[in-house]
Amino acid sequence: MTDTLDRPASAALARITPRRTRVGLVAGGLGAYWPQFPDLLPQLRRSAERVSARLGGLSCEVVDVGFISDERDGAAAAERLRAADCDLIVGFLTTYMTASMLAPVAQRSGAPVLLINLQPSEAMDHATFDTGAWLAYCGACPLPEMANAFRRCGVEFRSVSGYLEDERAWARIERWVRAAGVRAALRHGRHGLLGHLYPGMMDVATDPTLVTAQFGGHVEILEIDDVRVRAEKATEAQTAARVDLARELFTLDASVVEEDLSWACRVSVALDRLVEDFGLDSLAYYHRGLDGETHERVGAGLILGASLLTARGIPACGEFELRTSLAMLVLDRLGAGGSFTEFQALNFRDNVVEMGHDGPAHLAISQGRPLLRGLDVLHGKRGWGVSVEFDVAHGPVTAFGLGQRADGTFTMIAAEGTVVPGPLLGIGNTTSRVDFGCDPGEWTDAWSASGVGHHWALGTGHRVGELTAVADLLGLELTVVAP
């Protein structure tokens, strides 16, 4: 799947460099073969080197512990991989090997395991092959043995079979590497929760402890004063530079009041400092305030800065929507963007669902140059200021959200559709017209019945295949809505 986040919106809006996915690699075969077939081991080692190089080309850090030939080698490799704290373990079955060689690796690493069986080419040359040549194509032989043994040991696994230069197999391997990267982003993530719950939004309420329990990572509880104090310390030069950046990135509608733009840029500078000071990877916020006092103005001024953070790879969303900021993080790390979204209206004439949100947006996936619009009223919220208006890039998209069962277990919900052109509201909202290939009313009923909250993330590309892998590694149920 192609990333859509490679093009920076501006040199001054540099995307963060996330932690690289760490992939452990162990290749092996049965040592009893080496004295019998002297040419076999060198050939298998060359294949292992090729796999290591291809993995390294997937933007990950490869911890290659070399080639193992028996269960003692396997135990030594297991200890090295355990110490390396890998996000994914890849076991390369180059030929037959016993389960005892890889079982300790799977048991001790604490990381998901992917078994790969990549024979040297598409097919054997049956007329010329002897036993030694055949054994280089025998990686499929131990796969059921590994699967059986791993299940009996209580170890989950997944596998990819193909041949060394099989791009279909490598696409599947890359999917697992990406999924491991998402799991790692959640496991190592620091997620800001700023302010308080929007009153009455029962679906939005999320226990931070359950986030740590099921995903790992840390939820940092923040006060609106954490932003206020930093905004007060922002200099005129920093604010002016942020105003220049806003003018570079956005078209400014005539409704934008210069004072409001300057305030939003000052708050944006404060948000950047907040994220830096607390080491945040995502942020969900809401604050109500009262009668134009400073806290209300801070809460109303977060939209621009939150959009700029999101474009840099630090997803930020409003209404205290922790689960949606996490969903946005998942799509961002898959290269899909991920913009804060909810229902707006159904269009039965054009058979599309109109969805979006007032507030922060993922600028890297905008169809065109985004607009800043001045608003006297932020509907349902206190305050006034500037808001972002755009539609997600036309073409394939995926709606993705996190639900939660009565027992607290998180679930994943996704649907694939297409953003199509057409008339949009001009009220300072992100709005996209999404065709899900069916009656919009039927889709809306099915989506709502899935257990998703009333917010979710909208990202580019059809991502259900990748999200299926993410769900597998996280041990969560994925519901794909396709009525």
Domain 21-186 class?
A: alpha beta
Q: How far apart are the first and last CA of the chain?
A: 24
Residue ranges, CATH 3.20.14, the chain? 188-480
Question: What is the structure's pLDDT at 144?
Answer: 97
Question: What is the structure's pLDDT at 9?
Answer: 52
- Contact partners, residue 419, CB within 8 Å, separation at least 6: 367, 391, 392, 393, 394, 395, 397, 432, 433, 434, 435
Query: Rounded to the nearest 10 degrees, how much is the dihedral formed by the CA atoms of 417, 418, 421, 425?
Result: 30
Question: What is the structure's pLDDT at 153?
Answer: 94
**385-404 confidence digits (pLDDT tens):** 798 988 999 999 999 999 99
CATH classification for the domain delimited by 188-480, as one of 1.10.8, 3.40.50, 3.20.14, 1.20.120 = 3.20.14
* Residue 267 · residue 298 · CB < 8 Å: yes
**303-316 confidence digits (pLDDT tens):** 999 999 999 999 99
Distance CA 469, CA 171 (A): 12
Q: CA 8, 11, 15: angle at the middle one, nearest 5?
A: 50
Identify the weakest region by mean pLDDT among 320-329, 374-383, 440-449.
Answer: 374-383
pLDDT surpassing 60 at residue 357: yes
**455-465 confidence digits (pLDDT tens):** 999 999 999 99
pTM score of the predicted model:
0.94
In this prediction, residue 6 has a pLDDT band, given cuts at 50, 70 and 90, of low
Query: Rounded to the nearest 10 degrees, how much is the dihedral formed by the CA atoms of 359, 363, 366, 368?
Result: 100
Question: What is the structure's pLDDT at 12?
Answer: 65
Rounded to an integer, the average pLDDT of 427-441 is: 93
Rounded to an integer, the average pLDDT of 152-180 is: 96
**261-281 confidence digits (pLDDT tens):** 999 999 999 999 999 999 999
In this prediction, residue 218 has a pLDDT band, given cuts at 50, 70 and 90, of very high
Element (H, E) at 287: none
* Residue 466 · residue 380 · CB < 8 Å: no
pLDDT surpassing 70 at residue 381: no
DSSP code for 59? S
Question: What is the structure's pLDDT at 372?
Answer: 92
Average pLDDT, the chain: 94
Rounded to an integer, the average pLDDT of 408-432 is: 93
Structure tokens at 463: 């991502």
Residue ranges, CATH 3.40.50.10940, the chain? 21-186
**24-68 confidence digits (pLDDT tens):** 999 999 999 999 999 999 999 999 999 999 999 998 999 999 999
Question: What is the structure's pLDDT at 384?
Answer: 72
> Could you count the other beta carbons within 10 Å of the beta carbon of residue 141?
15
pLDDT surpassing 60 at residue 8: no
**60-79 confidence digits (pLDDT tens):** 999 999 999 999 999 999 99
Question: What is the structure's pLDDT at 483?
Answer: 85
